[in-house]
Amino acid sequence: MLIALTTALVALTASPASAAPVFANGFEDPPLSVGFKQYVAGEQFGGWTVASGTVDVVTYWENAEGLQSLDLNGTAEGSVARTLPAQLLTTYKVTFAVAGNPEGLPTVKSGKVAVNGQQVDAFTFSTAGKNIRNMGWVYRSFYFTNLLSTSSVLRFTSTSPSIWGPVLDDVKVESCLLILCPASASTVNRIR
């Protein structure tokens, strides 16, 4: 019945409402005075926790915004997670910039995004023709609806088996009421 109610509410989507910011993060905290810093599983930085492997916060290439971005591969495939406060029956829009470390193979970098352990997005990025001064940043976004939880864990994971991985920057999360969110039923991932 809850699924039927949720589907009915999404089907009644009205005109887009203004979204309320939940957080915006460009991996700027803590600020670095070196070219990169590696973090290993269990370490925390700027509200993120390294959930597996290793990741690098990098300053020496072109970033989508700010002065730092995140390579999801340090010396191995890595992942980062962040717990978001969540309200019941609220839809969230997640937007992020993706590129790839242009310094090594494979040329095509890949990763995935999960909320509360459920995959909600997968991405690939080709570094062909890219370099540290022209990273070729691309923005992606997806929606998820929180049904029953008071928090949601957002997790980005590399699926590129090398030390040169997908790169993230400018992560933003916004919320809107389920019945007023501009997403259609086919683009909303329902998370319990």
**In the chain, domain spans:** 23-142+150-175
Structure tokens at 2: 């809850």
User: Does the structure show a pLDDT above 80 at 66?
Assistant: yes
Q: Compute the average pLDDT of residues 152-165.
A: 95
User: Does the structure show a pLDDT above 70 at 57?
Assistant: yes
| pLDDT confidence of residue 130 | 97
For residue 151, give every residue at least 6 positions away whose Cβ sits within 8 Å of its Cβ, in sequence order, or none. 83, 84, 85, 86
| pLDDT confidence of residue 189 | 56
User: Does the structure show a pLDDT above 60 at 34?
Assistant: yes
User: Does the structure show a pLDDT above 80 at 39?
Assistant: yes
**Reduced to 3 DSSP states, what percent helix, strand and coil does the chain have, rounded to the nearest 5?**
5, 50, 40
pLDDT in tens, 88-131: 878 899 999 999 999 988 999 999 999 999 999 999 999 999 99
User: Does the structure show a pLDDT above 60 at 11?
Assistant: no
| pLDDT confidence of residue 89 | 79
DSSP annotation of 40: E
Could you please report the per-residue DSSP string of 82-148? Answer: EEEE--TTEEEEEEEEEEE-TTSS-SEEEEEEEETTEEEEEEEEE-TT-BTTB---EEEEEEEEE-S
Q: Tokens 């957080």 label which residue?
A: 23
DSSP annotation of 19: P
How many C-beta atoms lie closer than 10 Å to residue 167's C-beta? 29
| pLDDT confidence of residue 191 | 52
| pLDDT confidence of residue 173 | 94
Q: Compute the average pLDDT of residues 16-31.
A: 81
Q: With bands split at pLDDT 50, 70 and 90, how would you rate the model's confidence at 16?
A: very low
Q: With bands split at pLDDT 50, 70 and 90, how would you rate the model's confidence at 180?
A: low
- Strand-pair partners of 119: 114
User: Does the structure show a pLDDT above 50 at 182?
Assistant: yes
User: Does the structure show a pLDDT above 70 at 8?
Assistant: no
The CATH code of the domain at 23-142+150-175 is 2.60.120.260
**How large a percentage of the chain has pLDDT more than 70?**
82
